[in-house]
Structure 1
Amino acid sequence: MKGAEILLGEWQGREAAALMRDGQLEDLLIDGDAPRPGSIYRARTDRPVKGQGGMFLATPDGSAFLRQVKGLAPGAPLLVQVTGYAEPGKAIPVTQRLLFKSRYAIVTPEAPGLNVSRAIRDEEVRDELLATAHETWAEAGAPEGAGLILRSACAEASAEEVIDDILAMAALATQVLADLEGAPELLVEGDGPHALAWRDWSEPAQVTEGADALERDDVAGAIEALAEPEVPLPGGGTMVVEPTKAFVAVDVNTGGDTSPAAGLKANTAAARELPRQLRLRGLGGVVILDPAPMPKKDRRGFEGSLRAAFRADDVETNLSGWTPLGNYELQRKRARLPLAGGTA
């Protein structure tokens, strides 16, 4: 099928959403049992971790870990938001920088200012949205010192939809920020796959709903293929993606191509495909890429392809660079649950 299609249903008994683009599986969200990113807790400080500048917190869902802590005494209440999924056996990662995010609006406590997504380039549309934001924000009763970001989806939305979203997020922020007293409690649960699909997949798309929506042959086959480590690449090369306890190992091979340019071709194809594979498989943490052999002079072009590919990806990824042994290292946020078969 040409164009984009969003499928909202279940996968193996769990809520799930899939984004297909031109017949290819582009994104996949499957619910799990762990606390969802975006959840907001009223937590209680527990004990600092010496030498790491962090502190363990008590939450109703277990221990959380807050980095870069200063001036917090044990036993104090504070509001924190889940930033990603914890590594097995480790505490829930949280931050004090709360965000209240919906399809059209993001309210940013302690980060004042009214802004429009840079993805909206039409100056007339930007001016109209800013005018709407200023008028609505003045009446929203938002927390003092909070800011507002209008997301790229606003470009295709009606003024009423944008206004309703701003008011809803401002009201939620006001309610949560005033709820600091009391025992540890979950105040806001993070969005599940269906809500995330509505919130973040804003391109025009056909929407298919139903418990069995993802069981269609092309979708189910693409999801089941993710259980296999080997990924075919254009040009005949392959990429093997294998999560381990310590990191995700990615090995690139040229296949049957023995030409002088085979290594660069396979590595460039792998660079373009890697963000999609990591996203679909739910892999994060340290990623070590073992490229196919290529001359050192070709590294710059390969890095350019890699950076361009991850720039278009919505999961925060730091490209750390080359190791002395010629591998390439990345550090990726654990924004998704691993699909299967790995602990990274």
Structure 2
Amino acid sequence: MKGSQIILDHLKGREAAALMVDGRLDDFLIDSAGPRPGAIYRAIADRPVKGRGGMFLKTPDGPAFLRQVKGLAPGQPILVQVTGYAEGGKAIPVTQKLLFKSRYAIVTPGAPGRNISRSIRDDDVRDMLLGIVHEVMEEGDEMGLILRSSCAEGEAGEIAEDIDAMLSLARQVMADAQGDAEKLTDGDAPHAEAWREWTSDARVVTDPGGFESHGVLDELEALADISVPLGSGASMFIEPTRALVAIDVNTGRDTSPAAGLKANLAAARELPRQLRLRGLGGQITIDAAPMPKKDRRAFEGALRAALRGDATETALVGWTPLGHFELQRKRARLPLAGMVA
């Protein structure tokens, strides 16, 4: 089916959302039992970690870990936000830099300034958005504001309401910094996150059984296989281990001089989608198909271009002496295999 569909459904009793583009699964969100990214706690400083500049915190949902702490004493309350999912047996990752994010606006307490997404280049639209900001926010407001790219297609009234709602929530949370450990806000569940992040034109399907009728279940079943076809007989194998995610790119039966570069470029274009759907992050090591060193720049360029459309923070670390290419990717999601098995 051509075009985009957002399917809101449940899988194994968990709220879930799927984004299908031209009949192919492009993104998938599923709820978990743990704290969601974006949740905000009033946490209590517990004990510092010497040599790492961090501190463990107490929260109602278990220990959290805050990096790069200065001037924080044990027993002191502090507002923090969950940045990702904790690995098994580890503390919840949190940050002091709170973000109140919605479909059109991001409010940034403690980081004043009013910014509009650089992807919005129409001067008339930018002037309209600045007018909305001046109406909703007072001069000298200490809250920072970022208007997202979705504002380009939004209605003025909806954008104003969204900004006002995020500002009100931010002020309420920031005024509640004292007291015992408490969860002040939940992160968005999959249906709310889909509304917030999937802003391109799409048909929304809410009928029960939507995952089955729109082919989502078949796509999820394919993701259980470690092998990913790349066309022309080439493939890559994606195997998570405890230490890292190992990716092996193969040319198949093609032994021509250009086969290695062709397979590696196909892998680079497909890899962000596979990592996003499988919920994989951390250290990622790619064992690329054999190709001359002069072709490495083309591979890096293809991978960098593919990652531009991926919201998860990913750093291209570079080549190892053995000829592997390494990435470092934020653990923004839990592995899909453990959620749908």
Q: TM-score over 0.5 for the alignment?
A: yes
Q: CA deviation at 1:341?
A: 5.3
Q: CA deviation at 1:210?
A: 3.1
Counterpart amino acid of residue 93 in structure 1: P
What SS does structure 2 have at the residue aligned with 1:74? coil
Question: Does residue 1:235 correspond to 2:195, yes or no?
Answer: no
Q: CA deviation at 1:234?
A: 2.5
Question: Does residue 1:194 correspond to 2:191, yes or no?
Answer: yes
Q: CA deviation at 1:217?
A: 5.6
Corresponding residue for residue 61 of structure 1: 61
Corresponding residue for residue 45 of structure 2: 45
Counterpart amino acid of residue 230 in structure 1: S
Q: Could you tell me whether the CA contact under 8 Å between 1:235 and 1:265 is conserved in 2?
A: no
What SS does structure 2 have at the residue aligned with 1:182? coil
2:282 alignment partner, one of 241, 264, 285: 285
Counterpart amino acid of residue 225 in structure 1: A
- Write the distance in 2 (CA, Å) between the matches of 1:62 and 1:221: 36
Corresponding residue for residue 306 of structure 2: 309
- Write the distance in 1 (CA, Å) between the matches of 2:338 and 2:164: 42
What SS does structure 2 have at the residue aligned with 1:10? strand
CA-to-aligned-CA distance 1:102-142 (integer Å, 9 cap, x gap): 00111001111111111212121111111211221129xx9
Question: Does residue 1:184 correspond to 2:181, yes or no?
Answer: yes
What SS does structure 1 have at the residue aligned with 2:315? strand
Q: CA deviation at 1:26?
A: 0.3
Counterpart amino acid of residue 274 in structure 2: Q
Corresponding residue for residue 8 of structure 2: 8
- Write the distance in 1 (CA, Å) between the matches of 2:211 and 2:111: 39
Q: Could you tell me whether the CA contact under 8 Å between 1:227 and 1:341 is conserved in 2?
A: no
- Write the distance in 2 (CA, Å) between the matches of 1:78 and 1:264: 50
Can you give the 5+ residue segments of structure 1 that lack an aligned partner in the other structure?
Answer: none
Compare 98-107 and 150-159 and name the one that shifted more: 150-159
Corresponding residue for residue 200 of structure 2: 203
TM-score scaled by length of structure 2: 0.97
Summarize the Cα distance change of 1:195–1:217 in structure 2 as closer, same or farther, 3 Å threshold. closer
Corresponding residue for residue 34 of structure 1: 34
Corresponding residue for residue 261 of structure 1: 258
Could you tell me the percent identity over the aligned residues? 67
Q: CA deviation at 1:216?
A: 2.2
Question: Does residue 1:87 correspond to 2:84, yes or no?
Answer: no
CA-to-aligned-CA distance 1:144-171 (integer Å, 9 cap, x gap): 5211111111111111100100110000
1:328 alignment partner, one of 325, 329, 338: 325
Compare 288-297 and 150-159 and name the one that shifted more: 150-159
What SS does structure 1 have at the residue aligned with 2:337? coil
What SS does structure 1 have at the residue aligned with 2:172? helix
Alignment RMSD: 1.3
Q: Could you tell me whether the CA contact under 8 Å between 1:114 and 1:134 is conserved in 2?
A: no
- Write the distance in 2 (CA, Å) between the matches of 1:187 and 1:318: 31
Corresponding residue for residue 339 of structure 1: 336
Q: Could you tell me whether the CA contact under 8 Å between 1:319 and 1:330 is conserved in 2?
A: yes
- Write the distance in 2 (CA, Å) between the matches of 1:235 and 1:164: 51
What SS does structure 2 have at the residue aligned with 1:278? helix
